[in-house]
């Protein structure tokens, strides 16, 4: 195997094969900046910090049933950056319309699977609309890659991109040496794993029992996932047309979210999931639709890559968990407690590891097996919801201050709604993408999210005041 062509992993292949006309498998980001970015400086930043990942210089090729990453001999960064201006007043609605249109459009598979639109004169500054195919990496990894392009100050200087020497041409001797090294590495890994296993037994005599118990729990979670009932029939499960509608809300204060979480003895994640639940509840009521009595489920990506581990290689290292949102519970405090209980139960499960293993298994099997399994799993969720932590302080890209970042991951199968939560510089950004085949107004749901958060915040503060008054008495 030549250095310029490598096999695609089974998990990444699964995400590649999920691509469909109604749901392109793209991760999309909208980054709004306070000032215009000098385009040449942006290209230098991308050359130095983005294209150092070889995957962004490679395109997907197929030989028979095998899929490879192969260096693009005609790669040119100008093929992946397009400079445009919005019509009219270049307001938020125009940017949302452009994002909706591009989110409905597949990437060019003849080139590396990423593209950036540089949007001039947006809100006094500029915006970047970035699309990257999911088979390159998972959302959390790509967010970290994009944030690696930024600096904590606007004055950061770029060094010139060092020219990397081309890899030596492949020959039989090189392939034999690499094959021998792989065998030796695998043998050393097996010996090391055996040594650690024996060491664990000496320290904990009941370690084999714990291992067997964990294996049993994984089997149980696999069975639970397979036997989970299908989602109730609601307007959120309408047939898809492939055209997307994107909207995002004005940021809310992260300090207020943390205060609410402390008042209810919960986490920031619990508060935000509760707010999302309340937003969907308000959508059902506004549409005059019956609210499912057992709630609805959303598929939530669960990171399996250590957050502190440097991203040396890309790829997908995450599983999916099905989170039940109690949209049928009218009281905000009771709704919060139910969300909290559901999340705590999932944290103790192996569902994320199970779904990751299933993706690996499907990626190794025939395409029809993956599509049938995907259809089964996608019938068990009404939406995909991501919640990703970002930088605590404002960052700068090519000298321009990032004021509002938004990210969306794709939906798979027949799921047509994606919800995204992203914390950045003391704020919480909330966004949504909805297939036009679904009768739901994304802008209205954004308003519902703020209303729902205000409701749970006020209820939490009122509860705190009552507790303080009771203690004073």
How does DSSP assign 418-433, residue by residue?
A: EEEEEEETTEEEEEEE
- Give the count of beta carbons closer than 10 Å to the beta carbon of residue 198: 11
State yes or no: pLDDT of 457 exceeds 80.
yes
- Residue 258 pLDDT level (bands cut at 50, 70, 90): very high
Residue 271: predicted pLDDT: 93
Tokens of 370: 């993956």
The whole-angstrom separation of Cα 193 and Cα 332 is 49
The whole-angstrom separation of Cα 453 and Cα 371 is 37
Which residues, other chains included, contact 86 with Cβ-Cβ below 8 Å and sequence gap of 6+?
Answer: 94, 95, 98, 119, 121, 122
Strand partners, 74: none
Strand partners, 68: 7, 61
Residue 461: predicted pLDDT: 87
- Compute the average pLDDT of residues 70-79: 94
Residue 87: predicted pLDDT: 77
Residue 220: predicted pLDDT: 43
- Residue 354 pLDDT level (bands cut at 50, 70, 90): low
- Compute the average pLDDT of residues 350-371: 52
- Residue 297 pLDDT level (bands cut at 50, 70, 90): confident
- Residue 96 pLDDT level (bands cut at 50, 70, 90): very high
- Give the count of beta carbons closer than 10 Å to the beta carbon of residue 235: 15
- Compute the average pLDDT of residues 337-344: 88
Residue 252: predicted pLDDT: 92
Least confident of 18-27, 180-189, 198-207, 260-269: 180-189
In 3-state terms the chain splits into helix, strand, coil percentages (rounded to 5) of 45, 25, 35
Most confident of 61-75, 133-147, 148-162, 348-362: 61-75
Half-sphere exposure of 82 (CA within 13 A, CB side): 11
State yes or no: pLDDT of 451 exceeds 50.
yes
Residue 463: predicted pLDDT: 80
Residue 465: predicted pLDDT: 73
Choose among 34, 8, 99: nearest CA to 420.
99
Better-scored residue on pLDDT, 351 or 101 = 101
Tokens of 6: 């490598």
The whole-angstrom separation of Cα 277 and Cα 343 is 13
Better-scored residue on pLDDT, 111 or 414 = 111
Residue 304: predicted pLDDT: 60
- Residue 160 pLDDT level (bands cut at 50, 70, 90): very low
Radius of gyration of the chain (CA): 24
Which helix or strand (DSSP H or E) is residue 455 part of? helix 442-472
Least confident of 160-169, 253-262, 290-299: 160-169
The whole-angstrom separation of Cα 181 and Cα 270 is 47
- Residue 166 pLDDT level (bands cut at 50, 70, 90): very low
Tokens of 398: 């090519």
State yes or no: pLDDT of 158 exceeds 60.
no
- Residue 314 pLDDT level (bands cut at 50, 70, 90): confident
- Compute the average pLDDT of residues 391-411: 91
**Which DSSP letter does residue 151 get?**
B
Contact (Cβ atoms closer than 8 angstroms) between residue 435 and residue 82: no
- Compute the average pLDDT of residues 425-437: 93
- Global pTM reads 0.79
Average pLDDT of the residues of the chain = 79
- Compute the average pLDDT of residues 117-136: 92
Sign of CA dihedral 63, 65, 71, 73: positive
204-216 pLDDT, tens digit per residue, is: 555 344 434 434 4
Residue 470: predicted pLDDT: 67
Better-scored residue on pLDDT, 132 or 155 = 132
178-204 pLDDT, tens digit per residue, is: 444 444 444 444 444 445 444 544 555
Most confident of 156-160, 169-173, 326-330: 326-330
State yes or no: pLDDT of 235 exceeds 70.
yes
Least confident of 248-252, 284-288, 368-372, 441-445: 368-372
Residue 221: predicted pLDDT: 43
């Amino acid at each position: 195997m030549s250095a310029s062509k490598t096999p695609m992993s089974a998990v990444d292949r699964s995400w590649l094969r999920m691509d469909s006309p109604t749901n392109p498998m793209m991760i999309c980001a909208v980054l709004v900046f306070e000032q215009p970015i000098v385009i040449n400086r942006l290209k230098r930043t991308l050359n130095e910090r983005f294209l150092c990942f070889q995957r962004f210089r490679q395109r997907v090729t197929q030989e028979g049933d095998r899929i490879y990453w192969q260096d693009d001999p005609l790669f040119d960064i100008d093929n992946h950056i397009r400079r445009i201006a919005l019509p009219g007043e270049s307001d938020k609605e125009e940017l949302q319309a452009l994002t909706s249109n591009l989110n409905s459009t597949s990437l060019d598979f003849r080139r590396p699977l990423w593209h950036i639109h540089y949007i001039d004169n947006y809100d006094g500054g500029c915006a970047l609309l970035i699309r990257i195919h999911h088979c390159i990496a998972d959302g959390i990894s790509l967010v970290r890659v994009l944030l690696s392009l930024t600096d904590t100050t606007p004055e950061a200087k770029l060094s010139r991109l060092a020219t990397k020497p081309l890899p030596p041409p492949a020959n039989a001797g090189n392939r034999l040496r690499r094959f021998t090294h792989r065998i030796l590495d695998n043998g050393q890994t097996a010996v090391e794993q055996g040594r650690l296993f024996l060491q664990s037994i000496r320290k904990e005599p009941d370690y084999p029992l714990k291992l067997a118990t964990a294996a049993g729990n994984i089997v149980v979670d696999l069975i639970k996932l397979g036997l989970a009932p299908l989602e109730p029939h609601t307007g959120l499960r309408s047939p898809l047309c492939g055209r997307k509608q994107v909207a995002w809300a004005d940021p809310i204060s992260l300090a207020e979210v943390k205060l609410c979480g402390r008042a209810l003895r919960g986490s920031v994640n619990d508060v935000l999931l509760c707010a999302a639940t309340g937003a969907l509840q308000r959508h059902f009521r506004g549409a005059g639709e019956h609210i499912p009595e057992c709630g609805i489920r959303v598929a939530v990506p669960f990171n399996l890559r250590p957050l502190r581990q440097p991203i040396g290689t890309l790829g997908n290292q995450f599983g999916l968990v099905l989170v039940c949102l109690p949209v049928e519970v009218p009281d905000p405090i009771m709704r919060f407690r139910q969300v909290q209980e559901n999340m705590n139960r999932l944290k103790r499960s192996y569902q994320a590891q199970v779904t990751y293993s299933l993706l690996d298994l499907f990626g190794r099997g025939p395409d029809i097996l993956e599509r049938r399994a995907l259809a089964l799993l996608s019938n068990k969720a009404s939406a995909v919801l991501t919640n990703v932590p970002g930088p605590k302080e404002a960052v700068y890209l090519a000298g321009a201050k990032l004021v509002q970042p938004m990210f969306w991951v794709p939906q798979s199968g027949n799921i047509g709604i994606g919800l995204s939560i992203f914390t950045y510089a003391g704020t919480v950004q909330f966004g949504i993408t909805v297939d036009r085949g679904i009768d739901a107004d994304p802008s209205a749901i954004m308003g519902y999210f703020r209303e729902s958060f205000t409701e749970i915040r006020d209820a939490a503060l009122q509860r705190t005041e009552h507790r303080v008054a009771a203690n004073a008495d």
